[in-house]
Structure 1
């Protein structure tokens, strides 16, 4: 459940955030842009097994990556 009291999508229906990919997401990549977000804010990209490393590298190169977590039954945070 998120801060607004709503649950995220069913993990079985969560789709990878990589452009053009329609695979089921297996990983959550938490990130934050310190230029526009409060330090505690976490944005979430979802990734399938094929794109998790690529998306994490993309975020790390830009100093935006915070944490990589597996999908859970509660969906993205």
Structure 2
């Protein structure tokens, strides 16, 4: 089994191996503090579906370019 280099960011959608372009930032208010952000990475193709999944549950906070994922 080979490990991916740490600098390769891949889409979080199941089975997708595309490069990540977007950081979908979210939190579950029942278990996370308001300032906590979990991150799913998304390619252009899966940005909408990953965002919609989280938004339906009230978890989506924002979507930013992957290079800005760790900024407030």
Name the TM-score class by shorter chain.
0.7 to 0.9
Gaps of 5+ in 2: 1-5
TM-score normalised over the length of structure 2: 0.84
The CA RMSD over aligned residues, in Å, is 1.3
Aligned-residue offset at 1:27: 0.2
TM-score normalised over the length of structure 1: 0.79
Aligned-residue offset at 1:28: 0.2
Which structure has greater helix proportion? 2
Aligned length: 65
Gaps of 5+ in 1: 1-8
Aligned-residue offset at 1:20: 0.8
Runs of 4+ in 1 over 4 A off after TM superposition: none
